[in-house]
Structure 1
Amino acid sequence: MKTCRNTFMNNFFLRLLMVIAFGVSSCQEDLGLSHVRTGEQSAPPTNLTFEEAPGGATISYNLPTHPDLRYVKATYTLENGRTMVGKASLYDNSIKVEGFAQIGDYDVTLVAVSVGEVASAPVSIRIRTGKPSYQIIAESFQSSEHFYSTFGGVNVFYENAAAANLILRTFRFGLNPETNGREWLLLQETYTRALNGTIRVRGQQPQEERYGVVVRDQWGNVSDTIERLLTPQEEYKFEGIRMFTGIQPYSEQNRNGDFVRNNAGQANSADMQIAFFDGVEATPFYNTMRQWWGSGTPIPFQFTMDLGRASQISRIKMWGRNDNQSLYFQATHPKEFELYGSNAPAADGSWDSWTRIGTYEGVRPSGLPFGTNANAEDITYARTGEDFEVDWEHPGGFRYFRIRVNSTWNGIREQVLNNALTVAIAELQLFGVYVN
């Protein structure tokens, strides 16, 4: 029995050594990138048709039935002379060609590729492309609904139905102090593939200026500069905001009260005031005194601010938790909130003494689902702070403003006090004008 076992083990190790040797030999041969085998040439795709798409087309076809078929390849040339190659697997019967700068007629060559990169005879189709996304979006900025002045600057609202990868650059025509000449000055550059969004340019003077937008796509196609003569409205960042202490604390018995408790035993409005309005967005790491960190937070909850005099808010800028990319747009990050105004808040926090101004919902630029880490676009957006514009219908203004947080990005809209939920706001800024 022992002899058999020894014989078995000797044979096993001999075979193992042979396998290793063969593997090393094979790896050395693979360094030349040679194919394991060369398949037979298949017939080309047949019954080619196309459907226009933004900046390209979708070509449909019938696949050959050859067993060695691996994929279909399309080759075409853009207006700038760049040769493009697209591939579609043997499980698809269509292929997308894109990157064209203009509407036009273009030739595309297709081949069916077998094992070993053996190509079929080529077949061609002449397609007509749709208007490219970068042009569609640029032309939309000629409308005052998409490119317009607002408090403290201008807004650029885009709709990107094809989810194209784009760069949108916003400019103002003005004096360049380095050259002492007037030219287009870059104000903001936005990378996006979101289906829609608003670019908010702030810090502009309340005077008439020429503003422009240029759109560029991932293939280097660039739009003309879309210009508009715009006059931003006057806007100030409110300073000296204080947390209002005249409302009873939140409790299960009085859910209309203000919830001001911060983390680490900081349970008063002064701590909340430091965290919200100290001008520090608490990046790149969490700091208890720099972020408001409400542990055991109920949902919904509210807090009240005193601006000192009657005011009109034009914009709210909010930073969520800012220390870890895995927590952007997650359970700690406020998503939906409401804004209320009052000149005589009731001490018990009852809502009859408040006027609802609006409801606001955060946007995740990438569109990724809850529970997934933020990508580069999400991180840039979150670290810049999210702007919420306030449509104003109360010209008399209010001294006191109340924010009611209805949900975070986990979507839960009802949780009791002292549960496990934590809500974090790194910084809060309010903009607008004093009424008197």
Structure 2
Amino acid sequence: MKNIKHIYLVLTVAVLASLSACKKMESYNDPASSDMTKPGVVTNIKVDNFNGGAYITYSLPNSKNLLYVLAQYKINGVTTRETKSSYYSDSIMVDGFAKKQGYDVTLYAVSRAEVKSDPVVVKVNPDTPPYLLAKPSINAEPDFGGFKVTGTNPAKSNLGVILLSVNDNNSSDVIDQHYGNSDLISYSVRGYAPVAKKIGYYVTDNFGNISDTTYKTITPFFETLLDRGKFFQYRLPSDGVIAYGWDLPYLWDGKTDGNSNGWHTAPGGAMPAIATFGLGVSAKLSRFILWERPDGGDKFAFGHGNPKVFSVWGSDVAAPRDAQLPLSAPEGTVIGDWINMGNYNYPNPPSGATPVAHTTADNDFVKAGVSFNFPLTNPKVRYIRLSVSTTWSSGTFAHAMEMAFYGDPR
């Protein structure tokens, strides 16, 4: 009997709790207020225009039931946007306008019962939108195996550069979309044969605004993967001392997983840590892929002796002499038989996590290899010096799993 009473008590409490929860859910959907009084209008309006938008300041009405201010406006004659600002603020931002011209913005004060005030129409005159500021600077040029797109984004706004392939019947297909908010735009689209190709490109923004399209016919430069079977070690006195059996030829053996050997210098060595090798051909290089050491038994990705700041030097001399390379030097610097072909920073974990707390996806990024471009102005070279100035652990040794080089060896 005691057990039966206990069960009955538990069921009774459960039913009462359920009824209480239902009442709470029902009340949650009730209007925030039953006061249907129309609020007053905003007054003392001032407008501060900027590129693609405007800040509107105002005085709030003396309405006790006020919840927010609503702005309604068309950004391109078709698309209507709404922006809200709480009663704690005396300003509201309107943005996304397609052109530098006048636009009407309608302001409402809105109560907790969602009752709107009478409308107040404000004229704003936004400056040139960011996507139109960027468009004149965008340019596409021939690159190895494709096209190089450059430009500037003065407003550092979220923009997209859309690349089109133009077909024989003048129809077009999107072949690349590049988005970002950096002030400098510079990237390459590859995978094309060295034959003339008509392309187009335009700039868009987060609001669906689209610039005019520029059309060009471009012939990509020839590019191929250099045969790593021809690479050879070319040891110089200032090269890093090899450690743990991770000898230099492992840097081009085609094995990139963390269970294989790569190149590894001994701790306590002088920085930069340097590895010198021959390509077996004289080639104008376009880019290279670096595979750093991924996680294995320990967390090596974005840590340990993996290169963080490094440079690549090259020489086209038949038997280049040793030279003490500095920790840093501008691109194009010549020291003895060697020229600085590029300075590089390995990217941070894509997830945004700190290097020591990188994710599995970040480790997959490392295992896939990271591509770096060479400047188009570089001369042909037949020897390479990888010079690691700083590792992720800021230690006195460096290591990497693999390198591959692309270019024109003809």
Structure 2 residue 173 is matched with structure 1 residue 170 = no
Normalised TM-score (structure 2): 0.73
The alpha carbon displacement at 1:184 in A equals: 3.3
Q: Which amino acid aligns with 1:386?
A: S
Q: 3-state DSSP class of the match of 2:259?
A: coil
C-alpha deviation, 1:127, in angstroms: 1.2
Change (3 A) 1:49 1:296: farther
Out of 209, 212, 216, the position equivalent to 2:204 is 216
Matched, 1:230 2:203: no
Question: 2:146–2:193: 8 Å Cα contact kept in structure 1?
Answer: yes
Asked if 1:340 is matched to 2:313, the reply is yes
How many angstroms apart in 2 are the aligned matches of 1:237 and 1:399? 14
Query: Which position in structure 1 is the counterpart of 2:140?
Result: 147
- SS of corresponding position for 1:228: strand
Find 2:125's aligned residue among 128, 144, 156.
128
Q: Are the counterparts in 2 of residues 170 and 214 from structure 1 also a CA contact under 8 Å?
A: yes
Query: Where in structure 2 are the equivalents of 1:32-431 lying within 5 Å?
Result: 32-35=29-32, 42-64=39-61, 68-79=65-76, 81-141=78-138, 146-174=139-167, 183-240=171-228, 241-247=230-236, 256-258=238-240, 267-274=246-253, 278=254, 287-289=258-260, 300-318=272-290, 330-331=302-303, 334-342=307-315, 343=317, 344-346=319-321, 350-351=324-325, 354-362=337-345, 385-392=370-377, 394=379, 397-408=380-391, 414-417=394-397, 428-431=403-406
CA 1:158–1:223 in structure 2 vs 1: closer, same or farther (change >3 Å)?
Answer: same
8 Å Cα contact 1:247-1:258 kept in structure 2:
no
- The DSSP-based 3-state class of the residue aligned with 2:250 is helix
CA distance in 1, matches of 2:61, 2:303: 51
Tell me the CA shift for residue 401 of structure 1: 0.6
What is the match of residue 4 of structure 1?
Answer: none
Residue deviations 1:292-324 (CA, integer Å, cap 9, x gap): 788969764222231013333233344556789
C-alpha distance 259-169 of structure 1, shift in aligned 2 (>3 A): farther
Task: Report the CA distance shift for 1:162/1:151 in structure 2 as closer, same or farther (over 3 A).
Answer: same
TM-score of the pair, normalised by structure 1: 0.70
Shift of 1:174: 4.8
Contact 1:138 1:213 in 2 (8 A): no
1:341–1:401 contact (8 Å) kept in structure 2: yes
**Secondary structure of 2:283's aligned partner:** strand
Number of aligned residues:
379
In structure 2, relative to structure 1, the CA distance for the partners of 1:318 and 1:189 (3 Å cut) is farther
Report the equivalent of 1:10.
none
**Percent of paired sites with the same residue:** 24
**Cα pair distance change 1:432/1:122, threshold 3 Å:** same
Q: 3-state DSSP class of the match of 1:135?
A: helix
CA RMSD of aligned residues (A): 4.3
Moved more, 338-347 or 399-408: 338-347
Kept in 2, the 8 Å contact 1:313–1:392? The answer is no
- Give the AA of the match of 1:236: T
Q: How does 1:22-33 map to 2 (within 5 A)?
A: 23-30=20-27, 32-33=29-30
Asked if the contact 1:328–1:382 (Cα under 8 Å) also holds between the matched residues in 2, the reply is: no
Question: Residue 57 and residue 103 in structure 1: after superposition, are their counterparts in 2 closer, same or farther (change >3 A)?
Answer: same
Structure 1 residues 293 and 127: CA distance shift in structure 2, 3 A: farther
Partner secondary structure for residue 392 of structure 1:
coil
Would the alpha carbon gap of residues 336 and 21 (structure 1) be closer, same or farther in structure 2, given more than 3 Å must change? same
Change (3 A) 1:124 1:291: farther
Give 1:8's aligned residue: none
Deviations 1:182-219 (A, max 9, x none): 64354322233333331302233334433221223233
* Matches of 1:330 and 1:231, distance apart in 2: 38
CA 1:307 to 1:21, structure 2 compared with 1: closer, same or farther past 3 Å? closer
Once residues 351 and 44 of structure 2 are traced to their aligned partners in structure 1, the CA distance between those partners, rounded to angstroms, is: 37
Closer/same/farther in 2, CA of residues 213 and 69 from structure 1, 3 Å limit:
same
Cα 1:294–1:47 change in 2 (3 A) is farther
- Give the distance between the partners of 1:138 and 1:267, measured in 2 at CA: 49
